Every structure is written in C-alpha cells, then in structure tokens.
A = this chain, B = another copy of it.
Amino acid sequence: MGRTSDAKERLLDAAFDLIWTNSYGAVGVDQICEQAGVNKGSFYHFFPSKSDLALATFEDQWNRRRPEFDAMFSPLVPPLERLDRWCAFILGIQRTMARRFGQVCGCPFVNVGTELGTQDVRLRDKVAELFSRSQQYLESALRDAMAVALIPEGDAAGLARMIHALSLGLQVQAKVANDPELLGVLAPAIRRLLGIPSDT
C-alpha cells in the first residue's frame, strides 16, 4: 500500500558515483539529490542522514558486484586463474573510471575508509567488513591452490591479507599518479609473494 518509487535506488546510485569520483566530504546532500532527480524531502524520507546513505550505498554496491565475484572465484576456475581474473577485474575498473572521468578514482572503500575512519565508526566498520569479504575470496582460492600443490602450504588467511593490502596500496599509488596502468604489476607482484617463478 502507498505509492511506490525508485527514488531510493537513484539516490544510492548517484551517491556512490559522486562520492567515488570526489569524496564524502566534498559531495553535498543537495548535489546528490540533484543528480538523482530527487527532492531533499524525499532524501530524508528514505535515509535518516547522509552517513546512513553512504552506509547503505556500500552494502548496495557490494550486493550488485557479488555475482561477478562469485563467478570470478568460482571453484570451477583453477585457483591461480581466479587471482588473475581478480587482478584483471581491478585493472579494468580503474581503467574504465579513468577514461570516463579523466582521473583514476581508486578503491571507493579505501577512499571513504581513510577519509572517515577516525570520524564515523559505523562507516569504518562497514569498510572493514567489506575488506574481510574480499579477503575471504582470496583465502579460499589460496587454500585450493595449496590443496593441489600449486603453491606451498602456509597461512592462507595471512597471505590473503597481504595480497589484499598489495592491491589497495597499488590502487592508492595509481590514483595519486593518475595512471591506471600502475596496476599492471599487481598480478606479477602476487606471484612473487606466493613464490611462483614468473614466466619470463
């Protein structure tokens, strides 16, 4: 009962894009509303605050990306190829954003996590949660790789965290240098970390 609307989705979309390409602090509620084609009254009908919108945005984006991740890390894909696909995925995203926007945007979760980490505990915790989910995919791939002796046995969770850190750091470097191609070293770097000799 009551009327229906897709304003909430439009707000989630607009907010994520604007915050990703700018920053949480630099994007105003008015701006988000304008881009979403929604009035301020409606905004606060759906979300109690700007921070709540950001929170919802993150969960929403994750859910949207999840099928892609599940496919990438499918147990049917050879373990090391899963990692390669993941590297290609990240590189692809940063390339696309850089081309569309003229500027490497980096990882949206890192951006907000570092900006608001000391100010908004809920947002910080949400980013930590999303990080943990990413690492679970990596960890699972690493364990499968160990099972078939593609890499030596070891602390899969710890390794996953290292690989994840590597990717975050390279994305920061790429953003600051405004060059998505810096992410090209991600895959070889991971192989180094895993002790796999490169092909060349």
Contacts and interface: CB of A to CB of B under 8 A. Distances in A.
Contact of A168 (B24, B101, B173, B193): B173
Interface residues of A, number: 46
Q: Which secondary structure dominates chain A's binding surface? A: helix
A124 B106 CA distance: 13
Contacts of A162: 166, 185, 189, 192
Contacts of A128: 176-177
A24 B115 CA distance: 8
Given A23-B119, A26-B119, A114-B110, A173 B161 contact: yes
Contact of A161 (B168, B175, B185): B185
A167 interface: yes
A105 interface: yes
Given A24-B25, A25-B24, A158 B172 contact: no
Interface of A: 21-26, 101, 103-106, 110-111, 113-119, 124, 127-128, 131, 158, 161-162, 164-170, 172-173, 175-178, 182, 185, 189, 192-193, 195
